[in-house]
Structure 1
Amino acid sequence: MLRLTEIKLPLDHDDQALAQAIRTRLVLAADEPLEFAIFRRGVDARKKTAIAFIYTVDVRTSRDTELLAAHAADPHVMATPDTRYRFVDSGETVPARRAQPAPGRPIVIGTGPCGILAALILAQMGLRPLILERGKAVRERTKDTWGFWRQSRLDPESNVQFGEGGAGTFSDGKLYSQIKDPRHYGRKVLTEFVKAGAPEEILFVSKPHIGTFRLVKMVEHMRAGIEALGGEFRFSSKVTDLRVEGGQMRGVVLANGEELEAEHVILAIGHSARDTFEMLHARGIYVEAKPFSIGCRIEHPQGLIDRARYGPSAGHPLLGAADYKLVHHAGNGRSVYSFCMCPGGTVVAAASEPGRVVTNGMSQYSRDERNANSAIVVGITPADYPGGPLAGIAFQRHWEERAFGLGGSNYDAPGQLVGDFIAGRASTGLGTVLPSYRPGVQLGDLAGALPDFALHAMREALPAFARQIRGFDQHDAVLTAIETRTSSPIRIKRNDDDLQSLNTRGLYPAGEGAGYAGGILSAAVDGIRVAESVASSLLRL
């Protein structure tokens, strides 16, 4: 097959335009047979009066080799790369069948995207993983999470952070990443998601997303597939200790006292498992502090973002709700940037510990809520929170407790209008933008909810962002505090070759919680990499 890139078509092109553009690029006659599939479709909105789609397509003709040679000088015509996943034990796209099971059952701790994909790969290779999750199955977890949002009833083990599906379940469900992926693991992830019920368009749109409700169903389907292959899930099974002998993993201990033997343990615990981080450090597992970010959620009318990004085409059904990505380097040396932008979404309560307020963003697949939201955060480093590997956790907790108090100590979040925030005065009433955070928002002054360096940097950044998105600093846009869970505050370091802990053989730190991923797709890809390393060890490949 041939891959053609950079095929540009107007927003309202008809059904035949793409086929005709392919024929024109390859100089094919109208009667020559042609088959094609869209590999990627992006939007070029640089010129708002002439928004276009940019296609990458895979093409099959009756003379692919001849056409490839004829267009050798064209950088936008090439052979289609083979993106099929190949299992490490056989190098084949279908896992090898084994007459005897591999010795030792691997354990996967955590059922976020990293843990689920790790478990899936192990199960597909016949290694029957045991998957431990401290929270509940996704349906029960969803009920608990909505109960918190509606009634301020927090379950520390079942919430936005903990439970089947991981933190990404209650998010926009973004499935794109800037990681290097030479072995096309990302394609494997997307393909498995489609098998589990995700819309097929995630395979080709440039910024695929799923949304919370669809993610819930997908997670259930993936669990069923893993179980059908011999995997076993145990929910409400919190790991409270590790058994390590002579630097080698021997097993794990659960909160109920049960001990499970295992010499291969994948640690995919997410970025908020603070008690587990503390246990790992206490057990001597190598852990170090790492940078993360802190800030607020900001909400605007989605229509404002649509008009700023798409101009006269705002609201076009093929474009959907517009997003943005912003960065500003402040005068005090801090970087301020937008994070986890949720078009047509809501700001959600994401606390996982009593007496603390945390915000996050979420969208459904339709992205049809009235507001756009994103985190506006400031980068920080371990120099901002000295005190050892776990000092970042204490830093997060301090500001989450401050937000809890400013919000009224009832899980309401403190908020402030953008105009008042920039001017440094308390807000006393809302304007046209109604905050979506539940349980509720208490207006006031966010000066007490953020470090001074973050306040100064954000006050400088918001007007700068308005020069890129007109109206971004509108007076009655709403800021809600506090966003602290942009990434893990620690890194559980591992070897580059076999992906095992630096000082504990058989322990495989993975995903966001270990500091090796930053989103659903990158976490899932890391899960595949770690699962392959476990399989190679078990099968002595």
Structure 2
Amino acid sequence: MIRVGGIRADLDTDFSDLVSLCERKLKISRDRLLSVKLGKKSVDARRKNDVHFLISLDIEAKGEDRLLKTLKNASKHEPLSYHAPLVGHKPYRPVIAGFGPAGMFAALVLAMAGAEPIILERGCDVDTRCQKVEEFQRGDRLDPECNVQFGEGGAGTFSDGKLTTGIKDNRIGWVFERLVEFGAPEEILYLAKPHIGTDKLRGAVKALRERVISLGGEIRFNAKFCGFDAENGSLSAVSYMQDGEIHTIETGSLILAAGHSARDVFELLYNENIALSQKSFSVGVRAEHLRTDIDRAMYGDFAGHPALKAADYKLAVHLPNGRTLYTFCMCPGGYVVAASSEEGRLAVNGMSCFARDAENSNSALLVNVDPADYGSDHPLAGMYFQRDLEEKAFIAGGRNFNAPATVLRDFMEGRVSEKLGRVSPSYRPGICFAAPEEYLPDFVCSSLKLGIKEMGKKIKGFDDDDTLLTGIESRSSSPVRINRGEDMQSLSLRGLFPCGEGAGYAGGIVSAAVDGMKCAEAVCRRMEEN
């Protein structure tokens, strides 16, 4: 197979007939072609008067060696493959705490290996979880154990389902293939910026769960990891609470994929003398613009073309104060969602459905926070710093989980907003006008003011006066790292495998899934050794 890249395709191109496209663009006769499929597809909007697609084609053909010599941008292409390990010796059933992206793919690999994993998820199954989240967004009480952060699918279930990643690993293609097998759109296999959408991701999560169960895995919902036992420096048992009772599972391996919001787990580990360290994270707000404004800024006169989905963007500016302001988790045609997981503390996040057709587009505007800002060398100081900001945001919002918000014009001019501009808030249950200075550190607020103006120079209208800023975005990553060695095990306890975003080793759905797979492989090796 060969891959030919850098092929220009107009927005009106018919991608249902790739053979004809290959004949027309590459001048390869139909009788030479054995198969053609899209390898990559991206939008080139660098010139607003000439928006088009750039594609790569994966081709099987007669005489490929000759084509490699004659075609521009052609190279040998071998699809990456992944083979799950097999466990021949099963001294115990491994346990996974957390069923987000890391825990799900760790469970899938262990189940395929024949290890019959037991998965503990503190929250509910995804259907019950969706109901609880909807009730909270309507103004009902928060369930601290089942919300946007906790429950089947993890925090990623209530997101855009973005699958972009900066890591390089042959497991990535396998992750994508499994997601498609479980119901994700096939286009994620070739889009340069793939996303599933929270609506389709929920179905994929359930299908993955059923596969794990069919292979001998067991998933226990409303089962909160609450402790462990050790003998001679090695894990011997795991405890969890369910329906008010504590249960114990004898095991030699625990994959701890509890997520970046499992603050009680961090405190438990600290009290048990598990090696932890401080980690940088970021805080800020969600910026909402009208989707049509962003589409027009990114696509010019091509905005609204039926072949183009809602426009996305990614921005970063380095500021004179030494900080960086950057966009994160951009949700075209999406919503700002209530992401709180603790009483008296408020957090927001962003989410899009697959269609990305909501009125607003939003993204996090984040400023880096480093351990030097924490004011303490305690391993959990970043977590306490994060908590303090969320408590201030809860108070600024009116102490009822309404989110503090401001219109950009008022923020820049140093006053509390009294009315909205053209952008209506998507956050539920509602907003309360408040100045970001009420809940964000001064260095974050000054960085926002400096950086948003700079971003407006890169995307026309990004700094529009009517832009709505809603806070607080504080859960972009974990402020704690659970230290582990090259064998993926805790430096303090053999058999404990810190995993995913919560442990400080991933930064999104894909990297978390890959980290889960790596931990599962390491567990298989440990089981064979015992």
State yes or no: 1:191 paired with 2:177: yes
Matches of residues 46-445 of structure 1 in structure 2 within 5 Å? 46-68=46-68, 70-71=69-70, 76-89=73-86, 102-181=90-169, 184-255=170-241, 256-387=245-376, 388-445=378-435
Q: Deviations over 1:211-270 (max 9, x none)?
A: 112111111111110000000000111111121222211111112221111111101110
On the 8 A contact 2:89/2:528 being kept in 1, the answer is no
- Compared CA separation, residues 15 and 505, structure 1 to 2 (3 A): closer
Unaligned runs of 5+ in 2: none
Corresponding position of 2:442? 452
What is the alpha-carbon distance in structure 1 between the residues aligned to residue 27 and residue 508 of structure 2?
42
Give TM-score, length-normalised by structure 1. Answer: 0.94
State yes or no: 1:476 paired with 2:473: no
Identical residues among aligned pairs (%): 47
Residue 211 of structure 2 aligns to a residue whose secondary structure is helix
Q: Which amino acid aligns with 1:197?
A: G
Q: Deviations over 1:43-62 (max 9, x none)?
A: 11101111121112211112
- Compared CA separation, residues 356 and 4, structure 1 to 2 (3 A): same
Greater CA deviation, 346-355 or 208-217?
A: 208-217
Residue 389 of structure 2 aligns to a residue whose secondary structure is helix
Q: Which amino acid aligns with 1:374?
A: S
Unaligned runs of 5+ in 1: 90-97
What is the alpha-carbon distance in structure 2 between the residues aligned to residue 385 and residue 267 of structure 1?
25
What is the alpha-carbon distance in structure 1 between the residues aligned to residue 130 and residue 287 of structure 2?
24
Q: Which amino acid aligns with 1:84?
A: S
What is the alpha-carbon distance in structure 2 between the residues aligned to residue 378 and residue 246 of structure 1?
43
**Superposition RMSD on alpha carbons, in Å?**
1.7
What is the alpha-carbon distance in structure 2 between the residues aligned to residue 419 and residue 148 of structure 1?
31
On the 8 A contact 2:239/2:248 being kept in 1, the answer is yes
**How far does residue 30 in structure 1 lie from its aligned partner after superposition?**
4.9
Aligned length: 526
What is the alpha-carbon distance in structure 2 between the residues aligned to residue 127 and residue 453 of structure 1?
49
What is the alpha-carbon distance in structure 2 between the residues aligned to residue 282 and residue 55 of structure 1?
53
**How far does residue 24 in structure 1 lie from its aligned partner after superposition?**
6.5
State yes or no: 1:467 paired with 2:448: no
Greater CA deviation, 421-430 or 57-66?
A: 57-66
State yes or no: 1:512 paired with 2:501: yes
On the 8 A contact 2:33/2:59 being kept in 1, the answer is no
Residue 258 of structure 1 aligns to a residue whose secondary structure is strand
On the 8 A contact 2:18/2:36 being kept in 1, the answer is no
On the 8 A contact 1:152/1:411 being kept in 2, the answer is no
What is the alpha-carbon distance in structure 1 between the residues aligned to residue 9 and residue 19 of structure 2?
11
Q: Deviations over 1:354-374 (max 9, x none)?
A: 011101001111111100111
Residue 408 of structure 1 aligns to a residue whose secondary structure is coil
What is the alpha-carbon distance in structure 2 between the residues aligned to residue 485 and residue 6 of structure 1?
37
- Compared CA separation, residues 428 and 229, structure 1 to 2 (3 A): same
What is the alpha-carbon distance in structure 1 between the residues aligned to residue 140 and residue 200 of structure 2?
25
What is the alpha-carbon distance in structure 2 between the residues aligned to residue 84 and residue 175 of structure 1?
19
